[in-house]
């Protein structure tokens, strides 16, 4: 499994801890930022989302202060289903019911332990399919106007 991760300055420290924790478990590719210096989150969300949409990576993790800005940008890209999650149950449901391919985390509201657990569940939960497949397909057909 290949996972891309990116953050803005607010998510940088959490991103670095996550990279270290997962380094021996999965292939994780850091798409920036590389410091606490102020940057614009849309740049990083857009680049990571394009890579996921183009299937260069299986999943993505985006981290900013709240997770909201990253998710707004990511969901502008066709084929992306980015979910802001604040707990493990939401991370699980985002995969089970929505086939989310990007997990967005708010570094100002999430501890490392919570983030680590959400990522593990997100990456290890399989899309339930069935009635959810039709709904997920509608997301992209309705938004291709």
Alpha carbon distance 97, 119 (integer Å): 16
Alpha carbon distance 71, 45 (integer Å): 8
Identify the active-site residue in 9, 85, 97, 140: 97
Identify the active-site residue in 9, 64, 85, 104: 64
Please indicate whether residue 104 is annotated as part of the active site. no
For the sheet with 102-106, list strands across it: 27-30, 2-7, 59-64, 102-106, 82-84
Please indicate whether residue 97 is annotated as part of the active site. yes
Q: Which residue numbers are catalytic?
A: 64, 97
């Amino acid at each position: 499994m290949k996972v891309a991760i990116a953050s803005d300055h607010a998510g940088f420290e959490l991103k670095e801890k996550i990279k270290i924790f997962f380094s021996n478990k999965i292939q994780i590719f850091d798409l920036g930022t590389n410091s606490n210096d102020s940057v614009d989150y849309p740049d990083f969300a857009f680049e990571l989302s394009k890579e996921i949409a183009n299937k260069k990576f299986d999943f993505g993790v985006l981290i900013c202060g709240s997770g909201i800005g990253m998710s707004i940008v990511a969901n502008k890209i066709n084929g992306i289903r980015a979910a802001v999650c604040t707990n493990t149950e939401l991370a699980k449901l985002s995969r089970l019911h929505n086939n989310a391919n990007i997990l967005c985390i708010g570094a100002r509201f999430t501890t490392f332990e919570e983030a680590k657990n959400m990522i593990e569940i997100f990456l290890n939960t399989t899309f339930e399919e069935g009635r959810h497949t039709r709904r997920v397909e509608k997301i992209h057909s309705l938004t291709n106007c």
